Chains A and B, each alone.
Chain A
Amino acid sequence: MMNRLALLALLVAAPTFAAVEYGGVKFHSTVEKSQVRSLKNDLRYLYKSSAEKPDTKFLTYTQMQVGDGPNMHNWLLNRVRYIYGEKADFGEKNLIAIDGRFPKTPLPDIPEPPKKILNKEEPEELGVTVMSNLASYYLMGKMYNLFIGFDFDGEKVFVKSPRTGLLKVGRGLFLKEFRINKENVDHPSNSVSRLATLFHEARHSDGNGKSLLFMHDFCPADHYFAGAPACDRSGNGPYTIGGLAQKHLIQKCTTCSVAEKTALTAGVADSFGRVLLTVKNRDAEYKQMIAIYTQIIRGYEKLSNETKSEANKAYYRREIKKLKDVIAATEAEKKSRKDLVWPEDRNGAPEGEWTPVSLQESKKLMEKSLK
């Protein structure tokens, strides 16, 4: 009875609140106007990105054919459709549940927090919300055979698949201290940073069965984030996707300064550093290392030929020899090293009932918004 009254109240009030739509993504009325403006700007920036300088790993892991704006936008739109604001209430009184039918796939293993964390006191204040994917309501529903849903400014949205694409954004995404360019919240460097976060969260809309939601793992004891649920054991999880998206977009940012690109690079290092284990086939990396050292040796050889000081010549030659030894050791290691492994990819295919958006459709939605 209470639910019906609440629903009625919402339906009556519906004309007061209107979801804003941009490029196919709907923004709930709880998202602050300034945040909507920035996110629209980010989507526009993304859509207008060129196809030049594709990062091949980004294409591989996202399974995009082309790393241009329309394809990236389409990839996101198939995982992010509804964005709530920080103050949206997902309490019991706003929750709607109907009987649901789910695929007969196993539930993912929920990582057990280390004892150290279990015994840790809860912090007095929770951190500021940056962004979160609400796909966990699908998992919750699956456990009870219920589709859980919420009102979205008059539209009832049931999480019948993580691909329903419900996200929540908070002020953490826009705070000055988290910005790359402090003065302009809509500077391309900040768009790149926010878009990478969007790609990261969007990845949680993927997976099925054991890989459902691409849940994070607790970082091991020898990791600098030991004990925090902030690492990935999968090679194609959110930290990989977010890091690759950021790396891909840095290269396209023509107006980002050296300082801004370096700060964004630190973000990439942070993402990749949370992916546990290392690459099995490291031939490309070894080749790159050898090429870099070889280039440096050529420079030093030239210097050695040009210097008139015998003492300097001897010094340069010693360093050249050392670098050649490093190359030889790297070559040997390339052949023998088998113990380090980049984590295996998990199954990224989505689960549940959802309607995919074609590239043609997503382009239409975006072009309509750009007018």
Chain B
Amino acid sequence: MKKKTRIILFLAAVVLLSLGYLLPKEKAETTLVETEPPTAQHAPLESGAVTEVEAPVVEESPLRKELAKAMGELPTATALSELDSEELHHTPEIILKGGLLVGELLEKAENEPARREETLKFLKSCAENPEVAHQIRAVCWRKTLAQIPEWKLFLPIADADVPDDIKELAIKLP
């Protein structure tokens, strides 16, 4: 066999062996991804059926950008502490504004089911966010608990980082 041919055969063997090694590894990686979190099943909704929330993807979708922006616009605990005594006797404007903002997102999700998964994650994040004003966190938590069964979506909440006093306030809300 000519030297050149041997070299080519050798390189081809190396490439083939590499592929052979990679393919099973890829499969293993795929299996690992499936264990946590689960991949989405896009089965059509049946009556009473529950669908899964899709695993987080790396790119920022327009909806995620919108929700991230909204999170930044929610009233903060710091902003509340800077209000004058005069402004505090009745519900501060920033709290009403925050409630409206959360409500608008809920309304959009009611009308567009494709928004519900991300909106639900937003609500949970809002409830967990220590920078957000107490009252709004309570509203977010209340809505998280209400919308999971309403929208028939899966979202892990057992380990939610929501303080007890916010959970207790949330339970008193309509």
Interface residues of A (CB under 8 A from B): 117, 123, 126-127, 130-131, 172, 177-178, 180, 197, 200, 216, 224-230, 247, 250-251, 257-273, 278-279, 282, 285, 288-289, 292, 295-296, 299-300, 302-303, 306-309, 311-312, 314-316, 319, 322-323, 325-326
Chain B interface size range: 35 or more
The interface-forming segment of B6-14, B20-28, B62-70, B104-112 is B104-112
Q: Which residues of B have CB within 8 Å of A130?
A: 89-90
Q: How far is the CA of A340 from the CA of B30 in the complex (A)?
A: 49
Let me know if A266 and B99 touch, CB within 8 A. yes
Complex partner residue of B149 from A295, A307, A316, CB under 8 angstroms: A295
Q: How many A-B residue pairs have CB under 8 A?
A: 179
Let me know if B134 and A247 touch, CB within 8 A. no
Q: List 27 A-B contacts (CB under 8 A).
A: A127-B87, A130-B89, A172-B90, A224-B81, A225-B88, A229-B85, A247-B173, A259-B106, A262-B139, A263-B97, A265-B139, A266-B98, A269-B95, A270-B91, A270-B135, A278-B165, A285-B168, A285-B171, A288-B171, A296-B148, A296-B157, A299-B50, A307-B41, A315-B38, A316-B38, A322-B159, A326-B158
Let me know if B80 and A309 touch, CB within 8 A. no
Let me know if B136 and A302 touch, CB within 8 A. no
Let me know if B158 and A266 touch, CB within 8 A. no
Asked, given contacts A263-B99, A269-B173, whether A299 binds B93 with beta carbons under 8 Å apart, the answer is no
Can you add 8 more A-B contacts, CB < 8 Å, to A177-B93, A303-B50? A127-B86, A265-B99, A265-B174, A269-B139, A270-B95, A273-B169, A288-B171, A306-B50
B37, B50, B87 — which one has the most chain A CB atoms within 10 A of its CB? B50
The dominant DSSP class at the A interface is helix
Q: Does B42 contact A (CB under 8 A)?
A: no
Q: How far is the CA of A182 from the CA of B154 in the complex (A)?
A: 35
Let me know if A257 and B41 touch, CB within 8 A. no
Asked, given contacts A288-B171, A295-B149, A319-B158, whether A262 binds B102 with beta carbons under 8 Å apart, the answer is yes
Q: How far is the CA of A130 from the CA of B87 in the complex (A)?
A: 10
Q: Which residues of B have CB within 8 Å of A261?
A: 103, 174
Complex partner residue of A303 from B149, B154, B165, CB under 8 angstroms: B154
Complex partner residue of B89 from A117, A230, A312, A314, CB under 8 angstroms: A230
